[in-house]
């Protein structure tokens, strides 16, 4: 038995347009061609494949045959793949990046991140995105090492002279503990009380801040590289520590965590900066991402020292 031939992309587009418009005449109008050209294209396609795609007998509207229905999804996949290829090449010719590596501080509120990335997927469907979620100095370290094209960093990015950036809002960090933790049971917390209990502190996987502490009060610290693990341990009553308010609002409402009124450690704003290397300006897609984070960032409500994380 002979193998089927190789159809052209034009033949596949004629086939799909007939299906979408419901008629040969509709396809001819959509494609700006004569009906005879549409019929000829389908006849050639059927001859190439060795099967009938439309049942033209007894109806004014062409109906897909069993073979036509079976091949429809494959034809759409091929046409969409070619469209995607052409769009990506056009983007490259226009200066659009093929991919963007984005490093984001773990403190960025998930809702804010999701809003930006949802818009990015719609605005730049041909650009691949690699997302890295890190903490503290790891964001600027990745941008500096060119592991990430751009980043949304915490306040430590300001210490790196090779990096430029724009203010991108803040999130509020608050000290919390489980309701059955000794601090959580106190109706009034006196200054220095936090020093007597384990403080859970987020650590920097990059080593950029090795040997440095930020607002650590207790001499008893547990250091974690994962904010989710810190959250889980806090809920289990193992220590106290700062958490971004958007992440634990549900816990505060449910009573699984309580906000600690610590006079000497009230928490505060954790400021974000949208960053890139000074010698590597971001391309159109990366610049769009930076601008969105800047636009969605909520300005700091108050000046404060960087709290512990």
Residue with tokens 């090449």: 89
Question: Under DSSP, is residue 169 helix (H, G, I), strand (E, B) or coil?
Answer: strand
- pLDDT tens digits along 13-51: 898 898 888 888 888 998 899 988 988 888 888 888 888
- Closest listed residue to residue 241, CA positions, set 270, 215, 263, 271: 215
- pLDDT tens digits along 185-221: 988 888 888 888 989 988 776 555 544 555 577 778 8
Cα–Cα distance for residue pair 42/49, rounded to 1 Å: 11
Q: What is the CA radius of gyration of the chain?
A: 29
Ramachandran category for residue 163: left, alpha or beta (phi over 0 → left; psi -120 to 50 → alpha): beta
pLDDT of 195: 87
Give the single-character DSSP code of 220: S
- Mean of pLDDT over the chain: 84
- pLDDT tens digits along 81-139: 877 777 666 656 666 888 999 999 999 998 899 999 999 999 998 899 999 998 878 89
Residue 250: both structure tokens together: 């549900």
């Amino acid at each position: 038995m002979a193998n089927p031939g190789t159809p052209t992309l034009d033949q596949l587009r004629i086939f799909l347009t007939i299906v979408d418009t419901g008629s040969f005449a509709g396809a001819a109008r959509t494609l700006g061609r004569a009906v005879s050209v549409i019929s000829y294209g389908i006849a050639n396609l059927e001859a190439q494949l060795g099967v009938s795609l439309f049942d033209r007998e007894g109806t004014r509207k062409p109906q897909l045959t069993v073979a036509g229905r079976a091949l429809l999804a494959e034809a759409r996949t091929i046409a969409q793949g070619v469209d995607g290829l052409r769009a990506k090449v056009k983007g490259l010719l226009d200066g659009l990046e093929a991919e963007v590596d984005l490093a984001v501080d773990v403190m960025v509120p998930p809702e804010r991140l999701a809003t930006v990335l949802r818009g990015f997927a719609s605005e730049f469907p041909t650009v691949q995105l690699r997302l890295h979620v890190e903490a503290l100095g790891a964001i600027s370290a990745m941008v500096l090492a060119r592991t990430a094209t751009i980043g949304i960093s915490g306040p430590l990015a300001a210490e790196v002279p090779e990096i430029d950036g724009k203010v991108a809002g803040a999130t509020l960090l608050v000290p919390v503990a489980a309701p059955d933790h000794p601090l959580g049971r106190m109706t009034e917390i006196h200054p220095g009380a936090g020093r007597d209990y384990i403080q859970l502190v987020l650590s920097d996987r990059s080593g950029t801040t090795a040997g440095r502490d930020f607002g650590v009060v207790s001499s008893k610290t547990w250091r974690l590289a994962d904010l989710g693990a810190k959250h889980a341990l806090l809920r289990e009553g193992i220590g106290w520590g700062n958490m971004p308010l958007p992440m634990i609002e549900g816990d505060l409402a449910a009573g699984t965590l309580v906000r600690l009124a610590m006079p000497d450690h009230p928490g505060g704003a954790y400021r974000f900066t949208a960053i890139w290397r000074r010698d590597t300006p971001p391309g159109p897609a990366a610049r769009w991402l930076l601008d969105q984070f800047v636009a969605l960032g909520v300005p700091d409500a108050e000046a404060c020292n960087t709290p512990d994380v």
